[in-house]
Amino acid sequence: MNEIISRTLSFGVSGVNGFPVHVEVFGINGMPGMEIIGLPDVSVRESRDRVNAAIINSGRQMHPRRITINLAPADLKKEGPSFDLPIAVGVLTANGELIPSADYDPDTTAIFGELSLTGEVQPIRGALPMVISAKEHGVRNVILPAQNAREAACIEGITILPVSHLREVIEHLEGKCPIPPQSQIPFEELRNNVAPAADMSQIKGQLGARRALEVAAAGGHNMLMIGVPGSGKTMLARCLPGILPPMSFEEALETTRIHSICGKLNSGGGLMVTRPFCAPHHSASVASLVGGGQNARPGEVSLAHNGVLFLDELPEFSRSVLEALRQPLEDGVVSVNRVKNQAQYQSSFMLVAAMNPCPCGYYGSKNRACRCTPNEIRRYLDRISGPLLDRIDIQMEVDAVPVSEIQQSGDAEPSSSVAERVREARTVQMNRYRGTGLHSNAQLKNQEIRRYCRMTSEAEQLLRAAVESMHMSMRAHQRILKVARTIADLDHQETIQAQHLAEAVQYRELDQKYWS
Amino acid sequence: MKDTYQTGVLGEQAAENYLCGARGMRCLARRFRARCGEIDLVMTDGGTVVFVEVKTRKSGAPGSGLVSVNAAKQKRIAQAAVYFLMSRHWLNKPVRFDIVEITPAGINHIQDAFQPGGMFYA
């Protein structure tokens, strides 16, 4: 036992993708010590001490030898404590403390996990992207922390071996006590046991806003709610994930991937089946919203991928933050570039914004007088730039609910039946746009609008009259058509009729009232 | 001063007796001196070369001697160890650094007490 080298396969994460990392351990006689090379960050370098303690606490010996650990490829930065477990296995093998059975193939078995000093295996971030990448690289078995097992259990064609202590890993690799594999969790099964956070049956009154919410959900339109304090804007927004169509397997995978990287998944939870609802505070920085920081982490817009980004008190957000939203709103992706790394994160979300009509909050209210000067109101509203407003298809005024309606007993229509109508409208859209790369009416561009938004002559006349009387821009005109398309879809009509168009025009009236 | 010196010598003898007797090691050198540092005892334990630092305390709790083997002291021992190994062409032998602490309470032997790491590897 003079010079021994061992190789263990693990995975790292860069952006949203995993990449293979070979943990090579070289043990030689000489000045005892342990050195980790291959661009480790601090948390990887510290794994030396965790591994040391964990091995001793698993009842194995650490031999005083000179040990070099190389994380190949050597030119990619390795971060996070997920290399603890492969390093421990490598050190044990290189020291001859662990003699793997013939069943262990180091090229098709990937290992990742963080170790505690006692040898327990702790959950890691980014388990899902790592397992996906492992599968792409021909890995057949994955040894990972038990708390991450459910998250990875939806990937087919790969055996997940959950572990909770280093001892289990050692005994498994020696062939003494094989780890029972995690059984696959079918996506449908996960999807069946979800309870939405907020239900529309709890919303009293607000018929107009309920309808606007339904239209927004049906067409994937961005939405702005303007209303007095306490009128229920936040409550309405919270209901949105519950009426959106359920996530497809691909969508769930994309969203879970991003949440996995950020370590935002519930431990022991599987794939995310409910659409995310992100409500960042208005003090949020650009980096926290669109992603960034030293290591280019995903921001709130990416966490809201395939879900809802709710910005309460829109004018209170800093100007730079709001302007930074333009790229993700337009393209559904953000590219984050930093000196150290760069990454592209998907961020296709529905924007729902809420704001007061003026600083004091009561401009236009029926019940209370506004204390603001016209100048104050204008300055407040001007914090929202035209280009941002342009990207919001539906605007809605939400007024306080009258006392008589608050005290009314009985529930309003529940989310489930609204969701059913939304789902039908989405199916109509999916069939119509099959093969065009589009998914919803909100994504229509100039040419497609002309092609898909056919209307009756009556509707055409109405539109012309509205455009003229309200001095609408070309863009506003197009957005009316898109929303009208969605309303017609909800109504199961192939051609847009006058009443659909009339409703769509309503969702633009605030342009006139506030921003003209 | 004389007294302290004698305490040290007595302690080192006691440590050597203990290691040779109870632990079955063999002594290679006592008070090995190099320009860069000094090693109290050099032993062999099977095929492993063991460099031993002995700390003797006439009073005080067990452990108080260990604290005084700080990073600077470890560095000096490691440098002297490299010198010792080179002089015998033994650089590819397994190596270990032990500390033996002798207090009124008894002998405390710490195997593999510190690992000086790669920087002294010649």
Show me where the domains of chain A are located. 4-173, 193-416, 444-516
Q: Which of helix, strand or coil describes residue A185?
A: coil
pLDDT of residue A193: 65
pLDDT of residue B118: 57
Cis before A73 (ω within 30): yes
Report which of A310, A101, A113, A341 is spatially closest to residue A225, judged by C-alpha positions. Answer: A310
Query: Residue A295 pLDDT > 60, yes or no?
Result: yes
Angle at A208 between CA A204 and CA A209, to 5 degrees: 70
Q: Mapped to the 3 state alphabet, what secondary structure does B14-56 carry?
A: HHHHHHHHCCCCEEEEEEEEECCEEEEEEEEECCEEEEEEEEE
Alpha-carbon distance of A255 to A275, in angstroms, equals 8
Report which of A170, A176, A173 is spatially closest to residue A54, judged by C-alpha positions. Answer: A170
Cβ contacts from A onto B, under 8 A: 50
- The β-bridge partners of A397 are A226
Q: What is the dihedral of CA B82, B84, B88, B93, to 10 degrees?
A: -50
The DSSP secondary structure of A268-311, one letter per residue, reads T--S--SPPEE---TT--HHHHH-BTTTTB--HHHHTTTSEEEE
Which residue range forms the structural domain that includes residue B21? 2-117
Q: Pick A328 or B122 by higher pLDDT.
A: A328
| ipTM, 2 dp | 0.77
Q: Do B96 and A64 touch (CB under 8 A)?
A: yes
CATH top-level class of A193-416: alpha beta
Burial A282-298 (b: 16+ CB within 10 A, else e): eebebbbbbbbeeebbb
Total count of domains within chain B: 1
Q: Report residue A427's pLDDT band, with 50, 70 and 90 as the boundaries.
A: very high
Q: Do B117 and A68 touch (CB under 8 A)?
A: no
Alpha-carbon distance of B14 to A514, in angstroms, equals 93
- Of the listed ranges A270-274, A333-337, A404-408, the least confidently predicted one is A404-408
Q: Would you say residue B122 lies in a domain?
A: no
Q: What is the CATH number of the domain that holds B23?
A: 3.40.1350.10
Each residue of A364-397: pLDDT tens digit?
Answer: 888 888 899 999 999 999 898 888 888 888 998 8
Query: Residue A2 pLDDT > 60, yes or no?
Result: no
8 Å CB contact between A236 and A209: yes
Query: Residue B119 pLDDT > 60, yes or no?
Result: no
Alpha-carbon distance of A59 to A167, in angstroms, equals 8
Q: Do A31 and B94 touch (CB under 8 A)?
A: no
Average pLDDT, chain B: 87
CATH of domain A444-516: 1.10.8
pLDDT of residue B28: 94
Entry pTM: 0.83
- Nearest by CB to residue B91, choosing from A30, A32, A33, is A30
Per CB-CB distance under 8 Å, the chain A contacts of B94 are 29-30, 63-65
Q: Which helix (H) or strand (E) holds A71?
A: strand A66-72
Pick among 3.40.630.30, 3.30.230.10, 3.65.10.10, 3.20.20.70: CATH of A4-173: 3.30.230.10
Report which of B33, B79, B73 is spatially closest to residue A31, judged by C-alpha positions. Answer: B79
Each residue of A149-183: pLDDT tens digit?
Answer: 988 888 888 999 999 999 999 999 999 999 999 98
User: How many CB atoms sit inside 10 A of residue B106's CB?
Assistant: 9
Residue A236 is which amino acid? L
Interface check B117 vs A, CB under 8 A? yes
Query: Residue A1 pLDDT > 50, yes or no?
Result: no
Per CB-CB distance under 8 Å, the chain A contacts of B117 are 31-35
- Nearest by CB to residue B92, choosing from A30, A33, A64, is A30
Look at the block and give the residue holding tokens 């998907």. A346
8 Å CB contact between A131 and A87: no
Report which of A60, A71, A68, A69 is spatially closest to residue A96, judged by C-alpha positions. Answer: A60
Q: Do B112 and A62 touch (CB under 8 A)?
A: yes
Look up residue A266 and give its two tokens: 């519930």
Q: Which helix (H) or strand (E) holds A344?
A: strand A342-346
Interface check B96 vs A, CB under 8 A? yes
Q: Do B82 and A66 touch (CB under 8 A)?
A: no
Alpha-carbon distance of A169 to A177, in angstroms, equals 9
pLDDT of residue A267: 67
Report which of A105, A98, A21 is spatially closest to residue A54, judged by C-alpha positions. Answer: A98
